[in-house]
A and B are shown apart, each in its own frame.
Chain A
């Protein structure tokens, strides 16, 4: 199953100008647990999609909202020359097609 079909919300945003944070929210506990246990959401799998090393990516489960947070280094500080997305609000694309 693709993540876009399993999740309720898949979003990205800066958490300060040096960090990008991706939030994946689910409709139910089953979907949340399924995604949480999937190797395809682990830092080792996510990092190459963003051109990063696994140690630059952190996965944080957040049970109170049945959500998975993935925080990572920005390759370009927000708004600096060479940036493509100052707010970081359109960096979720690679997550959508991930097979869970």
Chain B
């Protein structure tokens, strides 16, 4: 009997479906899973365990480079913990957005870790992997047919953007996970996936109402972030069927309490619109949701609605290399240099561009940041009082690391000795905390795609492979 058939037999009764317990082990696998709460979750006999492993938040580097954002040792440890937990309780384990960005190199790295852990621990199970890399020809065809739209403030996607992308992924929905489970998977490791799909796929297959199931998925996918005080501990969601469906939010750390306010507020988090969540297969509406205190620790949520889509859509994400990055890092404590810094840096850039014209043939980009003035936010003017010290970062992006470093080095020297009206400290304008103060940081990327593509069939885009370990 497959894992999903076993679950079906467990929850199905003549009177309907029993409550379904869903354990969210981690909102970002690879940064450490608090073990006490996870073990408490296992004691509650969950029907399945889910983990989210990725996000687009850390920027285009991880997607573009194929590198994982978390440390290998920590990631391996987290994977071992959840694999052993699911195996010892004989329940399915679903992992979404493998290796932070969910493209082929991320997924392959995580699958290798899972195989190595299974081998080392003597675990045997059916492992399903789901790829999320978008076929370039399919996306280009969709562009030509006008089926690709920008998501927010980004230019229309072009075929050149598709070609320039080192990685191009799509976010899979519940359909892909359901295919993997139908194929007999005990453990599913997915490439780029909607966070909700990890937690709503099984309830959807077993016949639970998708409105409450999707809403629960949206809340539990961040583990105990929806509690007060918020944290990363495992969270148990219990899906109920009476009265149109509801779910209970229960943190596995006793100090983290779910209140109607804390759970409702979580709908705001990293969401442009707190009332609607768009998924490949439809839209979740939470404007009708009701939040009710069950006891000091738990909250019950009901009332969310699921509207199936007339047209399937897939969010696509791509990253392209823009060059190699080098930085010049320095501080300054001279009041006149601080006051003039916003003029000094453009003036030095002009000099540097002239000086390097013969030696650096390629084009390069320069970005100045004066921390203490407007390094973080473009305030549109200096502060009322200038700070006592500022930190200066000059970022160079060039085609090669050598060129970027060469420009940063020249920039350092000419900023150090730049003359400006009223200069009083003629020894040098900068304090270097160490040398060399110019640092090569490696390839720089940009998001080449953050768009939504209308598709007629989802399955072909997210192929499932099953292997017996």
A→B interface (CB under 8 Å): 13-19, 21, 23, 25, 51, 56, 58, 60, 62, 64-67, 69, 71, 73-75, 77-87, 90-91, 93-94
Q: Are A71 and B268 in contact (CB under 8 A)?
A: no
**3 A-B pairs with least C-beta separation:** A79-B59, A18-B152, A73-B153
Q: Are A16 and B289 in contact (CB under 8 A)?
A: no
Instruction: Name the residue on A nearest B319 (C-beta).
Output: A79
Whole-angstrom CA separation of A83 from B59 in the bound complex: 10
Q: A23-B268, A69-B274, A81-B365 are in contact. Are A74 and B59 (CB under 8 A)?
A: no
Q: How far does the Cβ of B305 sit from chain A's closest Cβ, in whole Å?
A: 15
Q: Are B450 and A77 in contact (CB under 8 A)?
A: yes
User: When the two chains form the complex, which single residue of A51, A67, A78, A91 contacts B59, counting CB atoms closer than 8 Å?
Assistant: A78
Q: Are A93 and B444 in contact (CB under 8 A)?
A: no
Asked whether B376 is an interface residue with its Cβ less than 8 Å from the other chain, the reply is yes
Q: Which residues from A are CB-within-8-Å of B447?
A: 17, 77-80
Q: Which residues from B are CB-within-8-Å of A74?
A: 152-153
Whole-angstrom CA separation of A17 from B59 in the bound complex: 8
Q: A18-B153, A65-B261 are in contact. Are A81 and B444 (CB under 8 A)?
A: yes
Tell me how many residue pairs across A and B have CB atoms closer than 8 Å: 125
Q: Are B273 and A60 in contact (CB under 8 A)?
A: yes
Q: Are B267 and A65 in contact (CB under 8 A)?
A: yes
Q: Which residues from B are CB-within-8-Å of A21?
A: 268, 270-272
Q: How large is the interface on B (under 10, 10 to 19, 20 to 34, 35 or more residues)?
A: 35 or more
User: When the two chains form the complex, which single residue of A60, A87, A94 contacts B57, counting CB atoms closer than 8 Å?
Assistant: A87
**Interface majority SS on B: helix, strand, loop or mixed?**
loop
Q: Which residues from A are CB-within-8-Å of B466?
A: none
23 cross-chain CB contacts under 8 A: A16-B56, A16-B151, A16-B152, A18-B151, A18-B153, A18-B154, A21-B268, A21-B270, A21-B272, A51-B380, A62-B274, A64-B261, A67-B268, A71-B273, A77-B446, A78-B57, A79-B59, A79-B60, A81-B395, A86-B59, A90-B376, A90-B377, A93-B376
B→A interface (CB under 8 Å): 56-61, 150-154, 260-261, 264-265, 267-275, 289, 291, 322, 365, 367, 369, 375-380, 395, 397, 444-447, 450
Q: Are A91 and B291 in contact (CB under 8 A)?
A: no
**What would 11 more interface pairs be, CB under 8 Å, given A18-B151, A18-B450?**
A14-B270, A17-B154, A18-B152, A56-B153, A62-B264, A64-B267, A79-B58, A79-B60, A85-B376, A86-B57, A91-B377
Q: How far does the Cβ of B215 sit from chain A's closest Cβ, in whole Å?
A: 12
Whole-angstrom CA separation of A16 from B289 in the bound complex: 24
Q: Which residues from A are CB-within-8-Å of B59?
A: 17, 78-79, 83, 86
Whole-angstrom CA separation of A80 from B445 in the bound complex: 7
Q: Are B56 and A17 in contact (CB under 8 A)?
A: yes
User: When the two chains form the complex, which single residue of A19, A69, A91 contacts B152, counting CB atoms closer than 8 Å?
Assistant: A19
Q: Are A65 and B376 in contact (CB under 8 A)?
A: no
Whole-angstrom CA separation of A93 from B445 in the bound complex: 27
Q: How far does the Cβ of B227 sit from chain A's closest Cβ, in whole Å?
A: 14
Q: Which residues from A are CB-within-8-Å of B270?
A: 13-15, 21
- The listed residue with most B CB atoms (<10 A of its CB), out of A73, A77, A85, is A77
Whole-angstrom CA separation of A69 from B269 in the bound complex: 10
Q: Which residues from A are CB-within-8-Å of B291?
A: 64
Q: How far does the Cβ of B48 sit from chain A's closest Cβ, in whole Å?
A: 28
Q: How far does the Cβ of A90 sit from chain B's closest Cβ, in whole Å?
A: 5
